[in-house]
Structure 1
Amino acid sequence: MKQKPHVVVVGAGAFGGWTALYLQRQGARVTLVDAWGPGNARASSGGETRVIRATYGPRAVYTHLAVRALALWQEHERRWKQRLLHPIGVLWLVEDDDAYETAALPILKEAGTRFEQLTGAETAKRYPQINCERVRWAIFERDGGYLTARRACAAVLEGFLAAGGVYRQVAVQPPVPGEAVRATDGSTLAADVYVFACGPWLGKLFPDVIGDRVRATRQEVFFFGTPPGDGRFTEEALPVWADHGNHFTYGIPGNEWRGFKVADDARGPVFDPTSGERLPSPEALRSARDYVAVRFPALKDAPLLEARVCQYENSPDEHFIVDRHPSAENLWLVGGGSGHGFKHGPAVGELVAGLVLTGRQADPQFRLSRFAQ
């Protein structure tokens, strides 16, 4: 490869933006493009907040990736003098099936994370605003918390531009291996290497190689109002929480005063991220209200302040995709965030930049060949 290759990165979200930044810093000449802009309302990296946590059940690769990502978030907060990370902790509530959390404990320890294992009684005493009647035990990750998603995407773009990168807001047409990528405005994006990190649109741009291996699903998020002057549901009094009961429900208190965030992690129906209407459904709102009334009794009948429809872009096994296109050595495909990718953005960007510039292969769990097995 040339000493200073030109790389076009398509997609300015968590994976693409960080990849472009690291490529630019490591000596490439980089053009970053996005159809609507970093952290836009259609993007999987849009919205206000995302959880950062290291508990991943038996999947050690993501615990270690999260630890690296956390260090990079902290580094860039200092570098950019912006607050992007709120390290208020993450509390995992365990009721019946505890296989996921039990498998995570030795991995968290081996990775050097700071965590506590609490009994149900200890959890109830520490957080009386949570109904812990059925909680048997819990994990508290001291260094976890949440990230300001949309703001972080904008900060990454600013850092990329400051490093000498070029940004263009254009959409691209489905590429033809071996040819320059064409934008929908008629211009041509010629480069030595291409990285497509375009979230839920990856399958549409590469129907033969990706197709339904990245499938967008509709996900709904609700923000409820807390009682006037009640500090029990602020981020000073309550961490991010992840509830493994009948459903995997999670939430973020405070959200920089936007409200008490509640979301069901269960995969929703298939969704078109370009044309789909983003109106919340009465069924999902009712389910969220029912959950809040049980787990946080003081918030029963709390008013809805805000609702948002976003999407996950899911791979079949919820592993990320980081690999070359099988018909084009100079074309990389990065995606499959599967609802847990945002926190890993800086670590994934660092990884992908290294692969692109050295020609190495990604780890087997990220390669496309796993789908043929």
Structure 2
Amino acid sequence: MTRRSLLLGAGGAAVSAPAIVSAQRLGSAPLVSVVGAGVFGSWTAEQLRRRGAKVTLIDAWSPAHSRSSSGGESRMTRAGYGRDEIYARMALASLAEWQGLSKAAGLPILIPHGVLFFFQNDLSYLLASLEVHRRLGLATQSLDKAALQARFPMIDFTGVEGGMFEPRFGALMARRAVQTLVQRFVASGGSFEQRHIDGVSGVPAADRIVLALGPWLPKMFPRLLGGRIVATRQEVFTFAPPAGDARYSPAQMPGWADFNGGDVFYGFPDLEGKGVKFAHDAHGPEVDPDTQDRRFSDQALAEIVAFRDRRFPGLRGAPLATAEVCQYENSSNGDFLIDRHPDEPRLILVGGGSGHGFKHGPEVGRIAAELALDGTAPDPRFSLATKGAKQKREVI
């Protein structure tokens, strides 16, 4: 995984030819190198393996390491995407893969405690989500304020006009999920190598090279992807619930998101005793994943505590359990990037998780694998051409 700005075609200048010389014709056991063992890269490697490719997965550190966007404890899986049916469908298809991986693992990967979205003022996102879910046959429940308060008494729904509950979805245990997937990938014939790749020229010779580098992807191709994918600082906090109070357990409390216009807070119940999680889904300042300060800020903590005390009055005064600093890698519009490099078609670029990508790992991997092996074009939304240089998130 590179840590230097490289030059390649539209992104700069040269990649030495041996790095991407075809080792054999695509067909029988094509050779594919996947660089980046986060959720996108690991699922791409597994989907390629299932399709008969000989796959080497490479990362400079261990899968889902602490500085990656796939590290950490929990990620939300949900099909609520407003009018963006493409992501609802991808989440639903991916859910089956996560369920299978969770059943095969020694510890749970998917915790299906349900997901609750609630809304103030503008209900357009809610209504659009419910319409998509009806078409998909999902058992999503529409709840008015009275029903919300009766069913989820640990939350104060002041100002809320309506909500939706997705009973099949919940939390994915992120680091465990990726590490389990890579273990099973290797046990099934794939190869994992922990090594530093200083540019595309350092990747082993292969028929295809998939670059799923998360926040390091724009560092590899600064001229091509600079501004199109941007890493931003994100802070996450957990608080210890009161002793003996089971309201904040996964058996009673869902994952949740409070939609207030474009301002969204979200969180989880007390998963595996780590504490009740809170985060603000707003893009922080742009950062370098190699050098950003991983200490939490007093300002971010104060903002979360103020929100917590207003929406979750039973947690007022709850002690801070953990504080973590990570990053999103945001595409300019929030859509994923799954496309060929414009000057070297044997390079596949996969990234732009944009804070909502983890749940879609299985489907992103499938789409990337089909592009690499069969040339099947992804949905145009995932093309490089749709990513401008100005940040304007359109997917929430």
Contact 1:8-1:195 at 8 Å conserved across structures: yes
Confirm whether residue 132 of structure 1 aligns to residue 157 of structure 2.
yes
| Corresponding residue number in structure 2 for 1:42 | 67
Confirm whether residue 210 of structure 1 aligns to residue 225 of structure 2.
yes
Q: Offset of 1:173 from its aligned partner?
A: 2.1
| Amino acid corresponding to residue 132 of structure 1 in structure 2 | F
Counterparts of 2:166 and 2:107, CA distance in 1: 23
Counterparts of 1:115 and 1:2, CA distance in 2: 43
Confirm whether residue 293 of structure 1 aligns to residue 293 of structure 2.
no
Once superposed, what is the RMSD of the aligned Cα atoms? Answer: 1.3
Identify which range, 201-210 or 71-80, moves more after superposition: 71-80
Confirm whether residue 147 of structure 1 aligns to residue 172 of structure 2.
yes
What does residue range 103-118 of structure 1 map to in structure 2 within 5 Å? 103-118=128-143
Identity %: 44
Identify which range, 240-249 or 280-289, moves more after superposition: 240-249
| Amino acid corresponding to residue 304 of structure 1 in structure 2 | L
Q: Offset of 1:16 from its aligned partner?
A: 0.2
| Corresponding residue number in structure 1 for 2:198 | 173
Counterparts of 2:340 and 2:367, CA distance in 1: 14
| Corresponding residue number in structure 2 for 1:219 | 234
Counterparts of 2:370 and 2:188, CA distance in 1: 17
Gaps of 5+ in 2: 1-25, 390-396
| Amino acid corresponding to residue 246 of structure 2 in structure 1 | G
Contact 1:35-1:170 at 8 Å conserved across structures: yes
TM-score by length of 2: 0.89
| Corresponding residue number in structure 1 for 2:183 | 158
Contact 1:12-1:32 at 8 Å conserved across structures: yes
Confirm whether residue 356 of structure 1 aligns to residue 372 of structure 2.
yes
Gaps of 5+ in 1: 176-180, 183-187
| Corresponding residue number in structure 1 for 2:3 | none
| Corresponding residue number in structure 1 for 2:342 | 326
Confirm whether residue 313 of structure 1 aligns to residue 329 of structure 2.
yes
Contact 1:200-1:215 at 8 Å conserved across structures: yes
| Amino acid corresponding to residue 350 of structure 2 in structure 1 | V
Q: Offset of 1:372 from its aligned partner?
A: 6.4
Confirm whether residue 24 of structure 1 aligns to residue 49 of structure 2.
yes
Confirm whether residue 345 of structure 1 aligns to residue 361 of structure 2.
yes
Counterpart of 2:282 in 1: which secondary structure? Answer: coil
Q: Offset of 1:76 from its aligned partner?
A: 2.3
| Corresponding residue number in structure 2 for 1:251 | 267
Q: Offset of 1:317 from its aligned partner?
A: 0.5
Contact 1:324-1:331 at 8 Å conserved across structures: yes
TM-score by length of 1: 0.95
1:4 counterpart (14, 20, 29): 29
| Amino acid corresponding to residue 190 of structure 1 in structure 2 | A
Contact 2:237-2:320 at 8 Å conserved across structures: yes
Counterpart of 1:93 in 2: which secondary structure? Answer: strand
Counterparts of 1:48 and 1:206, CA distance in 2: 29
2:247 counterpart (232, 236, 239): 232
Counterparts of 2:376 and 2:362, CA distance in 1: 19
| Corresponding residue number in structure 1 for 2:297 | 281
Counterparts of 1:111 and 1:271, CA distance in 2: 38
Q: Offset of 1:280 from its aligned partner?
A: 0.4
Identify which range, 304-313 or 345-354, moves more after superposition: 345-354
Contact 1:173-1:205 at 8 Å conserved across structures: no
| Corresponding residue number in structure 1 for 2:18 | none
Q: Offset of 1:81 from its aligned partner?
A: 5.3
Identify which range, 256-265 or 363-372, moves more after superposition: 363-372
Counterparts of 1:296 and 1:372, CA distance in 2: 39
| Corresponding residue number in structure 2 for 1:33 | 58
Report the count of equivalent residues.
363
Counterparts of 2:136 and 2:196, CA distance in 1: 40
Counterparts of 1:93 and 1:361, CA distance in 2: 36
Counterpart of 1:284 in 2: which secondary structure? Answer: helix
Contact 2:101-2:181 at 8 Å conserved across structures: no
Q: Offset of 1:80 from its aligned partner?
A: 4.3
Contact 1:85-1:147 at 8 Å conserved across structures: yes
1:193 counterpart (193, 196, 208): 208
Counterparts of 2:319 and 2:278, CA distance in 1: 13
Contact 1:14-1:342 at 8 Å conserved across structures: yes
| Amino acid corresponding to residue 247 of structure 2 in structure 1 | R
